[in-house]
Every structure is written in structure tokens, then in C-alpha cells.
């Protein structure tokens, strides 16, 4: 006859080990991102989540970093390039005429990089990139009042107006970024 008591004790020990961190751990359910510029570079955050100018409604979660035209933009996470636009001139101030790069991550989220300079996409459709790879050059195209880079992340939707999601930058030195502060990629 099987020893039921010994079986229950083994199950208790296994559950306790997992709960206490002594056993296997589940993958991190919330992926982290890198700041969208090279390690060592810094940028002023001019608008963050729930900003008063354009970050509200479905676009509530996004970041605008002041960047002069031509600064290197890097991938926040690994992914595949699913959209590229780079024909618009800087300073056009026309909504819908933003140069951009969109990346699709393996978990179905999309990182969107807006306001790149003319001919500022340095990747091609279908290309795979690693986190931290150079993907473009910052600019001042579309609905923009100053040279900057807008980044955000959406889930299962890539078009303008998609619901953005909250993200955390692992190399920013802070869990939540605050407008008016300079952040250096660590």
C-alpha cells in the first residue's frame, strides 16, 4: 500500500520550495525595455506617461525624449521590423507624416519609434534586430513641436490610435520616468 502521508509531505515540500524561491521560477511576466539611445548617452524626457499635450486616451503611455536631429536611436527590445517610413522632411508639422520604425516583439507587442529624420530609418522591413541595435536617427517630422523621439508600446495592434501599454526601462535608474528629468542609458 502506498505511503499517502509521505506523498503529501513531498508535495508540501515541493510547493514550499517553489513559493520560497528554492525551486524553479516562472518567467518574468513583465518584460523590460532599454532606453532608446546608446548606453552612455542621455536625453531629457519632455513628456511621459499621461502627459498633458498628447499622451492621453489610448496614447496615455508614451515617452518623448528631446533629441537633436540625427542622434542614434536604438531598439528597446529585440524584434522584427514591421514598418518603416522615412520620406518626410523635418519640420513639416503635419500629423500623419511622421518618419518611423515599428518593431514586433516575440510576445505580440509592438515598439513604435516616431519622428525620425528624413532617410533616418537604418533598418529594413523583415529585419531582425537585437535590443540595443541602432535602428534609426532622430528627427522632427509629423505632429512635432521640436526635434524629439516619441516611443511607445502597443499590444496586438500597430496602427495609430492603438492602446499603448505601460513599460519599464531596465537601464534608466528609475522604475517610472518623470518629465523634466534627464535620463542616461546605463
Q: Tell whether the torsion through CA atoms of 48, 53, 59 and 64 is positive or negative.
A: negative
User: What is this structure's pTM?
Assistant: 0.82
Write the pLDDT tens digit of every residue in 49-88.
767 767 556 568 899 999 999 999 999 999 999 999 999 9
Q: Nine-digit cell at 177?
A: 520616468
**CATH class in words for 32-184:** mainly beta
Outline where the chain has alpha helix (H).
4-19
Give catalytic status of residue 148 as yes or no: yes
Per-residue pLDDT of 26-41, as tens digits, reads: 334 578 999 999 999 9
Q: Cα dist. 157→41, 85, 94, 154 in Å? A: 30, 17, 23, 6
Note the Cα 26 to chain centre separation in Å. Answer: 22
Q: Alpha-carbon distance 149 to 63, whole Å?
A: 8
pLDDT tens figures, 98-135? 999 999 999 999 999 999 999 999 999 999 999 999 99
Amino acid at each position: 500500500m502506498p505511503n499517502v502521508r509521505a506523498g503529501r509531505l513531498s508535495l508540501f515540500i515541493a510547493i514550499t520550495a517553489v513559493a520560497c524561491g528554492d525551486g524553479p521560477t516562472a518567467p518574468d511576466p513583465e518584460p523590460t525595455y532599454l532606453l532608446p539611445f546608446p548606453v552612455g548617452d542621455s536625453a531629457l524626457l519632455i513628456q511621459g506617461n499621461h502627459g498633458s499635450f498628447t499622451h492621453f486616451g489610448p496614447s496615455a503611455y508614451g515617452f518623448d525624449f528631446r533629441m537633436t536631429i540625427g542622434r542614434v536611436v536604438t531598439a528597446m527590445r529585440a524584434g522584427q521590423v514591421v514598418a518603416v517610413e522615412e520620406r518626410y522632411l523635418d519640420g513639416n508639422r503635419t500629423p500623419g507624416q511622421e518618419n518611423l520604425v515599428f518593431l514586433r516583439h516575440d510576445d505580440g507587442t509592438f515598439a513604435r519609434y516616431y519622428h525620425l529624420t528624413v532617410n533616418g530609418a537604418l533598418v529594413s522591413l523583415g529585419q531582425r534586430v537585437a535590443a540595443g541595435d541602432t535602428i534609426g536617427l532622430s528627427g522632427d517630422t509629423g505632429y512635432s513641436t521640436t526635434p524629439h523621439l516619441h516611443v511607445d508600446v502597443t499590444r496586438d495592434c500597430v496602427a495609430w490610435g492603438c492602446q499603448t501599454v505601460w513599460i519599464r526601462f531596465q537601464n534608466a535608474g528609475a522604475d517610472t520616468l518623470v518629465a523634466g528629468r534627464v535620463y542616461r542609458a546605463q
